[in-house]
């Protein structure tokens, strides 16, 4: 069997293993057998060392309903901070406290109540949604407790809180938008919790079992065993992260084959990798101002430690840098630095930097050696692999460029730690795309393990590796997009048109968000043509919504364009042949195909319906 075949089977075995860690019945990965309830409770109480288990998360995440049952299971008393505040206010409800005294007064009461409860006997303590946002409270929790975050998707939370209608922060005309804003603000802080469990719409008893499994994994100090059925994950800042075994994916292009190395700490090792593939070479690093501040010093130190002469070329962040003027400046700066053909042009950043630097590398001296060090999830799974480079024009995105393969790709998952949540979500849309193209198993794995991918380095390495293998396989078959490489554009005909119509304004829409809307649109369009079931389209939409991505055209802020404007933008797509539209459509999840010469009237009718869809 070929090396690539063994790699593919190896990845499948790892995915299967992660899916086999069942929470129901209290299984632990270390023992492989069930832990009796009284033994698991004793083990967890012992690991708490007299501290309280503090539940944090958004309103509606289940802190009270699950917490009460969890406390009973663990043999600990249950305390509810909100209930204590109400009792201290002589029975005045929380909405009334907000209305009469304001949020600042309520937060002060909350801070004092939590401090008092943490100073008492060990318990399971449910806190309000905003409590963990307070720095003083977080410090007290760290000192006197172990924090557990009940993570829940936007649609799940919205459905739950609408049942009650007693949440003061959601008393607005658009509670869904307010809830999403609160999630964007709070989730980066919630991720500081010691343990996180995905709260989902299953019986409370199931959630208790999954939570107990996560607590057992935390108690025995086994991060790898905390991914149970993909819904639970271990997160801690109290112990150093476990070492991550790097994975290597080969892009098989004959004498131009190259490796994609995926792992942790690769920026610190970049000098060793470059010295191996380009001994004695100098290096021009192209990056943007944001990445330069966060990642450039580490990379430069690594290269210089290996004796590599470096020069840095810094551009402004954003799609605006994929332009003729910036491209000209980068080329001139590379020449000014006396970078020769056997030297290296290195792209450090996201897709914009990779596309720009790659096109410059392809052009300067008619081709210089090129290395990609992607620092966004989107770039690690998509734009850094396969050799597409280019810049934008007023007519559309990536319409001027070249196919130019790198000599090496280093995908450091540690670089993703500084990525804003919105950008990580955007990259995740491209990960989902690979499951939808031809790997239904991978899509199902993502449905079960999305939370782990967002929080756990090992799960990220796995998701990125599978994505890169999928792309590498297609690129090796069709490097210059004469055939099925077009499959990689699933969702992009819609997505690129949306980006063009918002004038590449990242405040309104970033690329991955356009892809997310495009993926759902492609499946809904396929369903409208009778190619796949509407249930498949809805399943895709549910998963993307769950992680916080937009899935409807009307989710784009300030959208005012009509179907004809969308069509006009689509006709600038690179896949248009002899004036006819080409789409990537689907006969089901994992069964995508290239569909040529789609009737314009069918597209127009579908777009009218989609733009109107609430």
3-state secondary structure of 406: coil
Torsion angles phi and psi, residue 502, rounded to 5? -95, 10
Q: Which tens digit of pLDDT belongs to each residue from 77-91?
A: 999 988 888 776 555
User: Rounded to whole angstroms, how far apart are CA atoms 220 and 434?
Assistant: 35
Distance CA 569, CA 498 (A): 8
Read off the DSSP letter of residue 533.
Answer: -
Span 396-446, pLDDT tens digits: 778 899 999 999 999 999 888 878 888 899 999 999 999 999 899 999 989
Tell me, which fold does domain 247-419 have in CATH?
Answer: Rossmann fold (3.40.50)
Write down the domain spans for the chain: 19-234, 247-419, 444-612
Hey, what CATH class is 444-612 in? mainly alpha
CATH class for domain 19-234?
Answer: alpha beta
Question: What does the mean pLDDT of the chain come to?
Answer: 83
Looking at residue 524, its pLDDT comes to 94
pLDDT at 437: 94
Q: What is the pTM of this model?
A: 0.63
Above 90 in pLDDT, residue 293? no
Give the pLDDT confidence score for residue 24 in this predicted structure. Answer: 31
Q: Which residues of 502-527 are buried (b: 16+ CB within 10 A; e: fewer)?
A: bebebebbbbbbbbbbbbbbbbbbbb
Task: Give pLDDT tens digits for 129-180.
Answer: 888 988 889 999 998 999 999 988 777 787 887 765 555 555 566 777 888 8
19-234 and 247-419 share one fold: yes
Instruction: Write the pLDDT tens digit of every residue in 179-191.
Output: 888 888 888 888 8
Q: Place 225 in a pLDDT band, splitting at 50, 70 and 90.
A: very low
pLDDT grade for 504, boundaries at 50, 70 and 90:
confident
Task: Output the CA–CA distances (angstroms, integers) from residue 269 to 236, 253, 301, 329, in the order listed.
Answer: 25, 25, 10, 29
Mean pLDDT confidence for 313-329: 92
Q: Is the dihedral of CA 294, 298, 303, 309 positive or negative?
A: positive
pLDDT tens, position by position, 573-596: 656 666 678 899 999 999 999 988
- Between the alpha carbon of residue 60 and those of residues 123, 240, 602, the distances in Å are 21, 32, 42
Cα→Cα distances 207→193, 230, 233, 487, 551, Å: 18, 13, 13, 38, 28
The residues that bridge with 315 in the sheet, in sequence order, are: 288
Q: List, by residue number, the catalytic residues.
A: 366, 388, 430, 471, 481, 485, 489, 492, 496, 511
Would you say 330 and 286 are in contact if contact means Cβ atoms under 8 Å apart?
yes
| Whether 564 contacts 604, CB under 8 Å | yes
Q: What is the DSSP string of 154-207?
A: HHHHHHHHHHH---GGG-SS-HHHHHHHHHHHHHHHHTTSSEEEE--SS-HHHH
Identify the band that residue 10 occupies on the pLDDT scale cut at 50, 70 and 90.
Answer: very low
d(CA 467, CA 473): 10
């Amino acid at each position: 069997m070929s090396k690539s075949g063994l790699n593919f089977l190896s990845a499948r075995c790892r995915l299967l293993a992660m899916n086999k860690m069942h929470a129901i019945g209290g299984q632990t990965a270390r023992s492989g057998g069930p832990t009796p309830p009284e033994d698991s409770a004793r083990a967890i109480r012992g690991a708490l060392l007299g501290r309280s288990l503090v539940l944090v998360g958004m309103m509606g995440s289940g802190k009270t309903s699950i917490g009460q049952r969890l406390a009973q299971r663990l043999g600990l008393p249950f305390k509810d901070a909100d209930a204590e505040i109400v009792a201290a206010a002589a029975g005045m409800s929380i909405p009334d406290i907000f209305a009469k005294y304001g949020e600042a007064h309520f937060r002060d009461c909350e801070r004092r109540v939590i401090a008092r409860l943490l100073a008492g006997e060990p318990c399971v303590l449910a806190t309000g949604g905003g409590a963990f946002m307070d720095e003083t409270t977080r410090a007290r929790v760290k000192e006197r407790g172990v924090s557990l975050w009940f993570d829940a998707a936007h649609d799940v939370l919205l459905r739950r809180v609408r049942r009650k209608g007693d949440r003061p922060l959601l008393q607005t005309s658009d509670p869904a938008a307010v809830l999403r804003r609160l999630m964007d603000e709070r989730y980066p802080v919630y991720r500081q919790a010691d343990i996180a469990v995905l709260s989902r719409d299953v019986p409370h008893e199931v959630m208790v079992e999954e939570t107990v499994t996560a607590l057992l994994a935390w108690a025995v100090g086994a991060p790898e065993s905390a991914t149970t059925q993909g819904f639970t994950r271990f997160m801690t800042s109290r112990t150093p992260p476990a070492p991550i075994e790097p994975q290597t994916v080969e892009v098989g292009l004959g004498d131009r084959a190259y490796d994609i190395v995926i792992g942790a700490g690769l920026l610190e090792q970049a000098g060793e990798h470059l010295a191996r593939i380009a001994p004695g070479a100098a290096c021009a690093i192209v990056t943007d101002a944001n990445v330069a501040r966060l990642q450039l010093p580490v990379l430069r130190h690594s290269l210089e430690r290996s004796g590599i002469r470096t020069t840095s070329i810094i551009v402004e962040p954003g799609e605006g840098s994929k332009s003729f003027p910036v491209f000209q400046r980068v080329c001139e700066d590379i020449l000014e630095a006396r970078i020769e053909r056997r030297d290296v042009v290195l792209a450090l950043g996201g897709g914009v930097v990779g596309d720009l630097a790659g096109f410059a590398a392809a052009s300067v001296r008619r081709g210089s050696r090129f290395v990609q060090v992607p620092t966004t999830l989107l770039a690690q799974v998509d734009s850094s692999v396969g050799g597409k480079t280019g810049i934008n024009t007023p007519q559309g995105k990536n319409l001027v460029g070249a196919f130019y393969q790198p000599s090496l790709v280093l995908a450091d998952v540690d670089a993703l730690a500084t990525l804003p949540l919105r950008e990580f979500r955007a990259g995740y849309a491209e990960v989902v795309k690979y499951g939808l193209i031809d790997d239904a198993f991978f899509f199902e794995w993502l449905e079960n393990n999305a939370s782990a991918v967002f929080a756990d380095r090992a799960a990220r390495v796995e998701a990125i590796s599978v994505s890169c293998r999928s792309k590498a396989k297609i690129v090796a078959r069709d490097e210059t997009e004469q055939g099925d490489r077009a499959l990689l554009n699933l969702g992009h005909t819609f997505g690129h048109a949306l980006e063009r119509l918002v004038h590449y304004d990242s405040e309104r829409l970033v690329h991955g968000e356009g892809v997310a809307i495009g993926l759902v649109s492609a499946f809904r369009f396929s369903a409208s043509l009778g190619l796949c079931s509407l249930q498949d389209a809805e399943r895709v939409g549910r998963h993307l919504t769950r992680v916080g991505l937009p899935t409807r055209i009307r989710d784009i802020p300030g959208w005012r364009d009509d179907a004809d404007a969308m069509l006009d933008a689509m006709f600038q797509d690179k896949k248009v042949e002899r004036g006819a539209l080409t789409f990537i459509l689907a006969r089901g999840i994992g069964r995508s195909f290239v569909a040529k010469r789609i009737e314009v009237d069918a597209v127009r009718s579908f777009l009218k319906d989609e733009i109107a869809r609430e």
